[in-house]
Structure 1
Amino acid sequence: MQPYYGITIDKQDQEHLYIQVYKHLRTLIFNNSIKPHEKLPPIRKLSAILGVNNVTVVNAYKLLEEDALVYKKIGSGTYVAPVEDELENERDMEERHRIVPYDFSVSSPTADLFPVKDFKIVIDEVLERDKGYAFGYHESQGFFPFRQSLSAMFGGSKVALDPDQIQIISGAQQGIDLVAKSVLDYGDYVFVEAPTYTGALASFKLKGALIVEIPILEDGIDLEALSQQAKKLKPKLIYVMPNFQNPTGYCYSVEKKRGLIEIAKSCGAWILEDDYAADLNTGDALVSPLSAYDPYDRIIYVKSFSKVLMPGLRLGYMVVPEALQDEIALAKHATDISTSGLLQRAFDLYIRKGLWDRQIVLMKRIYDKRHAVISRYLKSHEVPWVHYHLPQGGYNYWITMDAALNADELMWRLNKKGVAVLSGSTFYHLQLKSSSFRLSIAAIDEKEIEAGLGIIFNEIEAMYHEMSGSKPGLMKSQVL
């Protein structure tokens, strides 16, 4: 019941209580705080926990069911529905596509983009070469030749990296969890971008940290707000995504990167850099890691490979400051001893053969085409009640509507028309309302993008005119 006791309901808010309950439960589902097929609390139990009546919880559960986030078992209760990562086979994927043909909510590539043949070759070669040793226990820090390969690859960012600084992890989420366990104590302040990745918020909250949201601007975190709060609260950790931030797609300027590092140094905070999608840059986007500008060794760098390959490939690495290496190593060993040895050896060979570089080129080519389609559409369908930012890479677009419009309502309306987006309220710690939403092009092709955007913009226009009482008519607007 632990996740449910963290839900706060504001009875003074004009928003209906059942909507607030629904949003909180939806966030718990999205950030995996409650797992697929896990039973939700009985209505009376949750009502008592939240201090609301039974009807409020009933209505919240109904909304979750309408959004296909839960399912009912007669005589048993309400359960969390499986998310896309847990779909069992291709038929399930086809069924999801039939129900949601225009899916802008998924932030991982589709299975057809996974280099199956290449991976089969390297796995077979590793098994032939290493025999049963590939399945044995491995050093908790990670397979040393793999760390050497990563050190050389990281050197491409013009940052010298010793293999001993690298900790292999089972995905970026595990890396964030390890940092939370190693660095944070109950009551410590953690500063995060607003909006941000909710999986990180969940890790920090489970450690009892106090989360402070700092607005993110088009060129990076708001340094003035960060500096003011840092002087008052002395955060232990600052969590950021400087390159193609999730969900906004924003990139930090060099000035913002340097300013962030200086503020963190002045208040004694560690910086946790989540490299979400820096590989997928286009044009002249600046994608150097923060460590390229850090003379203080205060940055913990976390990188996952799942966003370029597949979400089920739970593999990544951390670059750990010397002062934290022992604590991180102990936390890793206590969590799962070590990451899959076979996977580490296979990916090491995958890198050494140049296949990783080739896959990056392929993925960038695919996403460049999708970026071109969505950019062209947005520029040709500008309206005064919609603002947007064109990212220089990654696969997320942050769309902001007129302040009077509610992104949650848009999400519900689009869901009924076979279009999936994620409301901006999903990506905040406390904010329950948002006029922004995230579009992801990770799992939708060019033809579907244009058709899906047509449905989205028609629905936004309908909402705007319902709100204003005006007649439809397109006008030019500002690009953020």
Structure 2
Amino acid sequence: MTSKYQRIIEDILTGIEEHRFKRGQKLPSIRSLSEQYQCSKDTVQKAMLELKYQNRIYAVEKSGYYILEDQDFQDTTVSLNPEDFLQLPYEDFRTCVHESLIGRENYLFNYYHQQEGLEELIDSLHMLLMDYHVYAKKDQLVITAGSQQALYILTQMQLSNGKEEVLVEEPTYYRMRNLLEQQGLPFQTIERTLDGIDLTQLETIFQSGNIRYFYTIPRLHNPLGTTYDSKTQQAILDLAETYDVYVIEDDYLADFDPAKTLPLHYLDSHDRVIYIKSFTPTLFPALRLGGIVLPRQLRETFLQHKSLIDYDTNLIMQKALSLYIDNGMFARNTRHLHQLKQTHDADMKEMMAGTHLAYPYHIAQEMLTIQLPKGRMTARLKHGITSRQIIAGLSHDYLQLPYSKDFAQHLRQILEELTIS
């Protein structure tokens, strides 16, 4: 006679085999299972531990048990036991890396490379991008060794229209500017302030006829933290189509946009947007993995260039990242980080509420950014306040103060200096 302990195990295994339980799906609670099988909670717990030992489920503290694999994913058996999903993301990811190696000898030594990326991670990224309203076909996705590799390859590609220059916002992501300068590539700049960009100037630059890419960070801009409104987004796309320009949309902080702004890629109806997503801000800098969504007419050329740089983007890390995404760890840790940043931003906004600052400012991603006219940055602002950052723009300079336990004290010093000078 089959014991209730065995029945629980067999029923869950059968559910997996018959596709009733899917990867990452939460199982009923210990209490509900004990009522369903009319047995003690200890019996259910014992069955859960056995399934966990067999690498079929994993536990999330204060949440319950989840399916680790389904029948369509038998070749990726792993054993996860994250103790606390409120820990830093690398704790969970380290477990994924470790477990992705267990029992993989045959797979790793008989793997035939895919330049576009591991199929499992392509599938995971395809589903994840839908959460950002990026709807693309799988054959448009390519896994890269971080966003920097994607940007480098794009700058190396010769487009059919023969254009050579890259347009970047000023200020912009410093590594993009370094990439252009170190290679001696021709580029132009367009000023971006807390109010956005001058669309008339953008059209004038596009009219020059030599811009092949416009590199932009539409939401949660690095370094200003601002986001383009929908009118500006649509205008950029319309101009790109009119003047035959590809738009590189670097959406590295898509996970942390509280307004859930639609990306340029969603609004693009002419295959003008090249969408880049990095996992570094959500996980840790050492994880050099990213994804790019390419217009179909650029994909083959992109892969040809990529093949000259690497044979395979780190296979083990790709496998671990796929597991990390599909089992819900990415979503849980991202949600925690997002909530933490929102809490800190709310504290900063509360402290700024009664300041009556005479200059435009913006708060996002645990950073206060104050826009100052040229020549307004005093020596005390430059050297007398610790933790501050200064960004030089074209017609403005920007003083940035990150969130910290000393934020209120440093803010008072800044306000005093701006009032006196």
* Distance of aligned partners of 1:304 and 1:132 in 2 relative to their CA distance in 1, 3 Å threshold: farther
Could you tell me which residue of structure 2 aligns to residue 383 of structure 1? 357
Structure number with higher relative contact order (C-alpha < 8 Å, ≥ 6 residues apart): 1
Deviations along 1:187-214, whole A, 9 cap, x unmatched? Answer: 8222111221121112223343332222
**Please, which moves more after superposition, 217-226 or 198-207?**
217-226
Q: Distance in 2 between matches of 1:218 and 1:459?
A: 19
Could you tell me which residue of structure 2 aligns to residue 345 of structure 1? 319
Q: Distance in 2 between matches of 1:462 and 1:389?
A: 19
* Distance of aligned partners of 1:409 and 1:214 in 2 relative to their CA distance in 1, 3 Å threshold: farther
Post-superposition shift, 1:402? 5.3
* Distance of aligned partners of 1:227 and 1:387 in 2 relative to their CA distance in 1, 3 Å threshold: same
Could you tell me which residue of structure 2 aligns to residue 400 of structure 1? 371
Q: Distance in 1 between matches of 2:370 and 2:220?
A: 15
Post-superposition shift, 1:153? 1.4
Could you tell me which residue of structure 1 aligns to residue 142 of structure 2? 167
Work out which of the residue numbers 255, 258, 261 in structure 1 matches 2:237: 261
8 Å contact kept, 2:168–2:190: yes
Could you tell me which residue of structure 1 aligns to residue 51 of structure 2? none
State whether structure 2 residue 391 is matched by structure 1 residue 424: yes
Could you tell me which residue of structure 1 aligns to residue 308 of structure 2? 334
Q: Distance in 1 between matches of 2:162 and 2:253?
A: 31
Could you tell me which residue of structure 2 aligns to residue 411 of structure 1? 382
Q: Distance in 1 between matches of 2:323 and 2:297?
A: 31
Deviations along 1:319-377, whole A, 9 cap, x unmatched? Answer: 11111112211222222222211110011011111111111111111111111111111
Work out which of the residue numbers 382, 397, 412 in structure 2 matches 1:435: 397
Aligned CA RMSD, in angstroms, stands at 2.6
State whether structure 2 residue 174 is matched by structure 1 residue 198: yes
Q: Distance in 2 between matches of 1:137 and 1:452?
A: 52
- The alignment covers a number of residue pairs equal to 334
Could you tell me which residue of structure 1 aligns to residue 125 of structure 2? 150
TM-score, length of structure 1 as denominator length: 0.64
Equivalent pairs: percent with the same residue? 25
For residues 119-158 of structure 1, what are the structure 2 equivalents within 5 Å? 119-131=93-105, 133-134=107-108, 138-158=113-133
Indicate the structure (1 or 2) with the bigger Cα radius of gyration: 2
8 Å contact kept, 1:407–1:437: no
Secondary structure at 2:384 match in 1: helix
Which amino acid counterpart does residue 391 of structure 2 have in structure 1?
G
Q: Distance in 2 between matches of 1:133 and 1:457?
A: 59
8 Å contact kept, 2:380–2:417: no
8 Å contact kept, 1:247–1:396: no
Could you tell me which residue of structure 2 aligns to residue 462 of structure 1? 417
Could you tell me which residue of structure 1 aligns to residue 222 of structure 2? 246
8 Å contact kept, 1:234–1:267: no
Could you tell me which residue of structure 2 aligns to residue 212 of structure 1? 188
8 Å contact kept, 1:186–1:208: no
Post-superposition shift, 1:408? 7.4
Q: Distance in 2 between matches of 1:372 and 1:166?
A: 36
Deviations along 1:60-92, whole A, 9 cap, x unmatched? Answer: xxxxxxxxxxxxxxxxxxxxxxxxxxxxxxxxx
Q: Distance in 2 between matches of 1:278 and 1:311?
A: 16
8 Å contact kept, 1:280–1:364: yes
Which amino acid counterpart does residue 361 of structure 2 have in structure 1?
Y
For residues 284-363 of structure 1, what are the structure 2 equivalents within 5 Å? 285-363=259-337
* Distance of aligned partners of 1:336 and 1:457 in 2 relative to their CA distance in 1, 3 Å threshold: farther
8 Å contact kept, 1:277–1:307: yes
Secondary structure at 1:214 match in 2: strand
Q: Distance in 2 between matches of 1:424 and 1:249?
A: 13
8 Å contact kept, 1:410–1:460: no
Deviations along 1:84-143, whole A, 9 cap, x unmatched? Answer: xxxxxxxxxxxxxxxxxxxxxxxxxxxx96324422332233212423644767422110
TM-score, length of structure 2 as denominator length: 0.72
* Distance of aligned partners of 1:358 and 1:286 in 2 relative to their CA distance in 1, 3 Å threshold: closer
Q: Distance in 2 between matches of 1:277 and 1:461?
A: 33
8 Å contact kept, 2:381–2:417: no
Work out which of the residue numbers 235, 239, 246 in structure 1 matches 2:211: 235
Structure 1 residue runs of 5 or longer lacking an equivalent are: 1-111, 468-480
8 Å contact kept, 2:132–2:262: yes
Deviations along 1:237-267, whole A, 9 cap, x unmatched? Answer: 1000011111111111111111101111111
* Distance of aligned partners of 1:408 and 1:329 in 2 relative to their CA distance in 1, 3 Å threshold: farther
State whether structure 2 residue 165 is matched by structure 1 residue 189: yes
Secondary structure at 1:229 match in 2: helix
* Distance of aligned partners of 1:457 and 1:213 in 2 relative to their CA distance in 1, 3 Å threshold: farther
Structure 2 residue runs of 5 or longer lacking an equivalent are: 1-85
Could you tell me which residue of structure 2 aligns to residue 374 of structure 1? 348
